[in-house]
Amino acid sequence: MARPVNEKCWQCSQLSVEAARELHGDAGDGCWNEKTCHRKRSHYRNRADSNQKRKSQYVSIKAERKTSIRSKIEATPKVQPVALLYLYREARKDAHLHAISIAIWQGDSKLEEIPATHCLGMTNTQVRQYLQTVLQDLHQRYNIKTFEPEIRYDPSFCPIQPCPLKLL
């Protein structure tokens, strides 16, 4: 935090050197110091200009930083497509899998979405076979070998219409 302005020194800086020596020298209140007062008076007289100059330099440096950051951000690296596996099931470990959905993303853009499929009546083996066939197809199209870590949703968010859970 900046040091507070000494009101006495500020008022003294508005006077001429002779008047300041007379008022604050040996004949006056005795606060005049030849070593420091000239510098302080100059500082207080030019304080507003110095602050404005410093502020304009800071603003221009800040603007340069923003433009350099923007140019760095615009250079996005080339990323490989990834397959996100969405599982609609309850949080319990023994909960049944309600539905599966898959989305393929590359960076910020969605390349493809495989619509949600209900898993009601499917065994674990059938679900694994379905995922393997989808993965083989994704490997041929996008060179994707595995799914990213699965994303779990509650079955109440199932996007399939009509959904047996929502009919109850």
Which pLDDT band, with edges at 50, 70 and 90, does 10 fall under?
confident
Strand order across the 82-89 sheet: 109-118, 97-106, 82-89, 151-153
Helix (H, G, I), strand (E, B) or coil at 162: coil
Q: 102 - beta bridge partners?
A: 85, 114
Give residue for tokens 């800071």: 58
Residue 69: predicted pLDDT: 63
Nearest CA among 40, 35, 49, 36 for reference residue 15: 40
97-106 vs 109-118, strand pairing mode: antiparallel
Residue 63: predicted pLDDT: 83
Give residue for tokens 């009919």: 167
* pTM, entire model: 0.55
Span 9-29, mean pLDDT? 87
Percentage of the chain beyond pLDDT 70 is: 93
